[in-house]
Amino acid sequence: MTESPSDYGLPHPGWRPSQKQLLDAVLNMQSPATLIVEAPTGFGKTGVVAAVGHEDKALALMLTKDLQDQYSRIYDFDTIYGRSNYPCTHPKYAKSWQKAYGYPRSADDCPYPKMKDCDISCPYKTAKAAAHGSNKVAMNYSYGWFAEWWHHRDGYLFADEAHNLAISVISNLAQLRVSERQRNNWNLPKFPACSGTTDWAKDEVFEWLEHAIPIMGGTIGQMKDSKDKSKGTLLHRRLVMLRQLLTDGIWHIKGTNIGNKEIPPHLVCRPVNPKVFAPRLLGHHSKVVLMSATIGDSSMLASELGIEDYEFKSFPHNIDPSRRPVFWYEDAPRMNYRSTYQDYEHQADIIAEVCRRHKGERILIHTTRWKHARDLADRLARKGLQDRVWVPEQGIGRIQQIQKLVNPTQTDLIAIGPSFWEGLDLKDDLCRCVIIAKVPFSDRSDPVVAARLRQPGGIKWDHWCAALKVVQGAGRGVRDADDYAATYICDANWSGVAKYAPKWFEIQT
């Protein structure tokens, strides 16, 4: 008799295509093992994690608290967040804090050096205890990076949107920025004057940390309970962690003790490659499953995370290709810093033709620079599309930028910009056409990117990142099996990165 989802505690009448196949593969993993899974949005990856949690311990790591809430709401996972998300319930300290500062005290501001010394029922400690004893736990990457108690759990570790671990998540978590204001607040030594990826720059930062950490520790220890003490404790913790992490890998360091009004003195330490630090998130479980809709070249993900032995499974998209066709204009110009006026005009002609083909429908155009967005908007306006074209105002917040996109009032809107690649849900008539005006290579002016490109495999890494971002951009318009939208790639650079895209991202001929 075929097992049903209810046999694994899932609230679904039946399995989605290939979902049971993935579940069986995960449950049959031999310890130690790493499985990389490429399964498109809507496949049911979260359900697989929940089914595993019905049989064994399953810890899921993810990017956002919203996704944690989804795990909890649909599949009854126990969630654990950072301390700042939980109120302090100590009757004395919570009341005095509210009176002094006008806002509630959080568990992050706990006055006890060791939180376990507080004998009051604490929401954070309650949530942590529940996670300790649960088979199904949902945790965000940021909390997982700083907490260590979960390292001792056995069972499975699932990493959602795993491609982002290699591209941005680990690097962002490991980096440290200290401002001149923070330095002055804690009477820390002047920042070292150093820049680059040299061992000398590392040594300069180590020496600064050896002086700064004891100063902060002593000052915090003598302070009375206050919000300044809470902020100082967090910064002190980050400095101690940097001292631990800085011994490994290549870092780009920028330290200056002379500044001006525009750019005051500061210290910034950013890791160049995440593989050295990946074990902090992935190295504590014997069975690891890395999941994403956009893996593309699995060897790239494995290499970037320092994984040598793994199995890769790629599953087909559950939305028919006819509802999400992808077209590539091979005769489009190769868009780069050498592009001429004629190149931009030729591309605008191609894009204008696509826009006319989608008359009366909403269109999203991805660029990588605001300058390109405004230039393209001007060219399309001169080609008779002025009533449809819109570029959000540069410099305003993201919520304001996307306000018009999620407002269905203008049914034939053509929105152009560089900030729409990810995090947008434009289902149904909110978007019926996506245009890639520029393949999004990494920013060469970023010193960390420049350092990474100089390493072995740097160009291949850049092409892999660009391909995955194109796929992410295309996905803004098709959100479920009943939705549909066409994607058009209008940059000849696609020829160099196409092989790194997922198998299900098929170009129509």
Q: How far is residue 413 CA from its own chain's centroid?
A: 28
Q: What is the pLDDT of residue 115?
A: 81
48-95 pLDDT, tens digit per residue, is 999 999 999 999 999 989 899 999 999 999 999 999 999 999 988 999
pLDDT at residue 152 in the model: 87
Whole-number Å distance between alpha carbons of 293 and 504 = 10
pLDDT beyond 90 at 118: no
CATH T-level assignment (fold) for domain 5-171+276-314: Rossmann fold (3.40.50)
pLDDT digits 0-9 by tens, 304-317: 999 999 999 999 98
Dump pLDDT digits (tens) for 342-388: 999 999 999 999 999 999 999 999 999 999 999 999 999 999 999 99
Quote the pTM value.
0.90
pLDDT of residue 1: 52
* Ranges of each domain in the chain: 5-171+276-314, 173-273, 321-500
What are the tens digits of pLDDT across the range 464-499? 999 999 999 999 988 888 889 999 999 999 999 999
Over residues 415-425, the pLDDT tens digits come to 999 999 987 88
Q: What is the pLDDT of residue 71?
A: 95
CATH of domain 321-500: 3.40.50.300
pLDDT at 54: 94
Q: Order of strands across the sheet with 176-179?
A: 176-179, 266-271, 251-256, 194-196
**Cβ atoms of 432 and 485 closer than 8 Å:** yes
Summarize pLDDT for 383-411 with one digit per residue, the tens.
999 999 999 988 777 777 878 888 888 99
Distances (CA, A) of 157 to 62, 152, 309, 481: 11, 12, 16, 29
Residue 155: pLDDT over 90: yes
Strands in 414-417's sheet, in edge-to-edge order, are 326-328, 486-489, 433-436, 363-366, 414-417, 389-390
Question: What does the alpha-carbon distance between residue 404 and residue 415 come to, in Å, rounded to a whole number?
Answer: 9
What pLDDT score does 135 carry? Answer: 95
User: Cβ atoms within 10 A of the Cβ of 209, count?
Assistant: 21
Using the predicted structure, report yes or no on whether residue 509 has a pLDDT greater than 90.
no
The confidence score (pLDDT) of residue 132 equals 92
The yes-or-no answer to whether 5-171+276-314 and 321-500 have a common fold is yes
> For the residues 126-149, what does the mean pLDDT come to?
94
pLDDT of residue 78: 96
Rounded Cα gap, residues 247 and 203, in angstroms = 10
pLDDT of residue 404: 82
- pLDDT, tens only, 258-281: 877 778 999 999 999 999 999 999
Residue 124, pLDDT score: 94
The C-alpha atoms of residue 389 and residue 386 are separated, in whole angstroms, by: 6
Is the sign of the CA dihedral 96, 98, 104, 106 positive or negative? negative
